[in-house]
Structure 1
Amino acid sequence: MNTPLPPPSPRRSVRVTALAAAVCLLLAGCSAFGDTPSDANADAAGRADTGRLKIALVTHGGRGDDFWELVRKGAEAAAAKDDIDLTYASDSDAAGQAELVREAVHDRVDGIALTLAKPQAMKAPVTEAKAAGIPVVGLNSGVNAWQSAGVLEYFGQDESVAGRAVGDKLNALKAKHALCVIHERGNISLEARCAGVKKTFGGETDMLYVDGSDMDAMSAAVTSSLEQDPSIDEVVTMGAQFALAAVKSVKKAGSRARVATFDLNKDLVEAVRDGDVQFAVDQQPYLQGYLAVDALWLYRTNGNISGGSVAPVLTGPAFVTKANVAAVAGFAANGTR
């Protein structure tokens, strides 16, 4: 694989296209694609008829987390459409994730999509990728840090906006005392969510930090908080699996608290339908993975930049409640919501 280069000027594109056309006149049935963007055609089935790109998706997702499987499924769908050779790797440790990005640079991939939960740790590997001519896009976390981190585009939810929307929702539900559960200390997205809740919620907001990799410990911590302070009437979690665990904690503590959450999966859809969880904030992780990979293909083949490098492409927030859960239930059952 040749070293990837940034998009050429329009004049150079004309020369490359003209040269490719000349070669095609001499060699029957040619299909040319270099490391610079070129016109992309699609066959009748909608699959891209270009050379095969190699893209790396590197996240901070933990193993066995349904949320990241949704991100991965979306990325794989885009890769299948665009005929991309996609690799996925993750490490919840910031240093480990940075090393995975460096490995992708060493492998001379054509593009990298990464999350920016701890953006400071990503700056150096992103700089290395750019120096190697490899475009990098961000997704899921880091909406306020993607430009300073040096990535080309960003796809995700504005977590501060989402948090403020949840605060407003709790006000409408007449909640008085919220427990905001953060399962990964230092994750800027989770911190922004709870800060947003606290900013608009008219009641009291307490933060509870737990270890998201230990569900038993997380559940026990929520139970203990509810037992110690019976005035807590709302538990807000940062992920679907944590919400489901919190439902059990509420019952164990004999609390009257309700549960609401950020993020969604098929089990959470059922919990909303049954009334065990009041609502979920859907940031559409499948869409995030899909758009990030497709954006790299568009950039490599046509020089497109979503948001023009100055604005993020937002995928949320959207509220899923008992009133509208039926609209997403089918997609959740298919494993794409």
Structure 2
Amino acid sequence: MTRSNVGAVVILAISAVLFTSGVVRKISSPQGQDDARPLIAVIPKGTASMWWEVVRQGAERASHELGYEMIWTGPEQETDREKQIQAVEDSIAKRVVGIVLGPNDAQALVRPVEKIKTLGIPCVIIDSGIDAGPEAYASFAATDNFAGGADGARRLAAAINGRGNVIITKFVQNSASTDARAEGFKQTLAREFPEIKVIAEQFTLGTVEDGRQKTEDLLLRNKGQVDGLFAVNQPVSVGAYKAIQSLGLAGQVKMVGFDSDPVLLEGIERGEVAALIVQNPFEIGYQGVRLVVEAIANRPVPKAYPIPSMIVDRSNLAEMKQKFPAALGL
């Protein structure tokens, strides 16, 4: 977790350089090193995201420390499974010696991962799983998303005094990581807080704007009945927060989000966001590359490498900003 301190830099703006066809970026070698280093590919769910930019920073740091060249390539939007599959094919064609992959569809990426294994290329899955057995890849490095959803349930339950109605704004379908968060949230409420009911939940297109629209729809359809809201990742959480603001419900409808963003941190400061369950994207990127390098060297790696999440609220916001700025997107 402490490596997130190393990544405490201002996150680069995602701008017009991220072409709609996706991003392919070769990370340059440190000065004085030979350019003919072995090449690995890191393929995120999407490149047009501050969260994945921090993953890139962690992956880049590990590749430099361990003596590898890194290609950062993937679709712009996390919903574009076809472009991510093409990024896998392009990486294979570049004769990479290892692949780190954050699948944006648990089902659609099964065949590409099986192809990687057939070709004898070590592959580490990060962030979100696939619908394949652990024999299909070398290791899986990710937040314990079910446990994170459970933490979200407990924080929201505390905010609404253990009773009431809540809604869930979800990400896109077949995203294993965010589905696990929603499931952990619901199962924990059912088991530990029987007086809290989930009265509505809605998938989105995975963008801030669609998250806002879908959350507004849920709130308007259940007007006057919603006490709390859980949102499952960064763009959806930002969109959901904008929705409760636009409807004049900020502070009235208690909100717990997943992942960090400066907008959401401001919401905590204002008392309009009860808590955030925060991952460590820098560490996810770093460990993904470290594990694939171990696999390339035929050294044993764990099939599962859990990376703890953190909880941010008003009581520890200042401390968390100081200790984990990269994880908070600062």
CA–CA separation in structure 2 for the residues paired with 1:305 and 1:270? 43
Q: Deviations over 1:249-304 (max 9, x none)?
A: 11322332022111113443333233231111112111101101122223334x33
CA distance in 1, matches of 2:299, 2:268: 39
CA shift at 1:52, angstroms? 1.9
Q: Structure 1 vs Structure 2: percent identity of aligned residues? A: 22
2:286 matches 1:290: yes
Match of 1:222 in 2: 215
* Partner of residue 165 from structure 1, selected from 151, 175, 180: 151
Contact 1:70-1:336 within 8 A present in 2 as well: no
Which one of the candidate residues 322, 328, 334 is aligned to 2:314?
A: 322
> Are 2:155 and 2:274, in contact at CA under 8 Å, matched by a contact in 1?
no
Task: Give distance in 2, aligned partners of 1:336 and 1:304.
Answer: 33
| TM-superposed deviation, 1:156 | 0.5
**1:171-190 → structure 2 map (5 Å cutoff):** 171-173=157-159, 174=161, 176-190=164-178
SS state at 2:287 partner: helix
Residue pair 2:257, 2:277 contacting (<8 A) in 1 also: yes
Which of 28, 39, 46 is the aligned partner of 1:54? 39
Q: After superposing the two structures, state which structure 1 stretch, 326-335 or 151-160, moved more.
A: 326-335
Q: CA deviation at 1:185?
A: 2.1
Q: Which residue of 2 aligns with 1:19?
A: none
Matches within 5 A, 1:237-256: 237-255=231-249, 256=252
AA matched with 2:37: R
Tell me, yes or no, if the aligned pair for 2:41 and 2:91 is still in contact at 8 Å. Answer: yes
Q: Which has the higher helix share?
A: 1
Structure 2 residue 133 is matched with structure 1 residue 140: no
Aligned to 1:259: 255
| Inter-CA distance 80–270: structure 2 relative to 1 (3 Å threshold) | farther
Distance in 2 (CA, whole Å) between partners of 1:48 and 1:316 is 34
> Structure 1 pair 121/169, CA: closer, same or farther in 2 (3 Å)?
same
Pair 148,226 (structure 1): closer, same or farther in 2 beyond 3 Å: same
Asked if the contact 2:110/2:131 (under 8 Å) is kept, the reply is: no
Between structure 1 and structure 2, the one with the greater Rg is 1
Residue-by-residue CA offset, 1:59-84 (whole Å, 9 max, x unaligned): 222x4211111111111111121232
Aligned partners of 2:166 and 2:279: how far apart in 1?
Answer: 21
When residues 275 and 306 of structure 1 are mapped into structure 2, their CA distance, relative to the original with a 3 A threshold, is farther
Looking at structure 2, the residues matched to 110 and 179 of structure 1 have their Cα atoms a distance apart, in angstroms, of 44
The 8 Å contact of residues 241 and 264 in structure 2, kept in 1 or not, is answered as: no
CA distance in 2, matches of 1:76, 1:169: 34
Distance 1:271 1:254 in 2: 14
The answer (yes or no) to whether the contact 1:243–1:277 under 8 Å persists in 2 is no
TM-score (norm 2): 0.77
Match of 1:130 in 2: 117
Question: Which of 283, 301, 305 in structure 2 is aligned with 1:306?
Answer: 301
5+ residue gaps, structure 1: 1-44
In structure 1, what is the equivalent of residue 20 of structure 2?
Answer: none
Q: CA deviation at 1:145?
A: 4.5
Matched, 1:83 2:83: no
Equivalent in the alignment of 2:103: 116
The one-letter amino acid paired with 1:305 is P
For the 8 Å contact 1:269–1:329, the answer to whether it is kept is: no
SS in structure 1 at match of 2:168: strand
Aligned equivalents of 1:140 and 1:109: distance in 2?
21
Deviation string for 1:24-74 (max 9, x for gaps)? xxxxxxxxxxxxxxxxxxxxx9x999972211011222x421111111111
Q: Hey, what does 2:5 align to over in structure 1?
A: none
Q: How many residues align?
A: 285
CA contact (8 A) 1:117 1:189 kept: no
Give 5+ residue unaligned stretches, structure 2.
1-29
CA distance in 1, matches of 2:124, 2:157: 36
1:74 to 38, 58, 83: 58
Shift of the 185–284 alpha-carbon distance from structure 1 to 2, 3 Å rule, reads same
Matched position secondary structure for 1:121:
coil
From 185, 200, 205, the equivalent of 1:197 is 185
Q: Which amino acid aligns with 1:56?
A: A
Residue 103 of structure 1 pairs with residue 90 of structure 2: yes
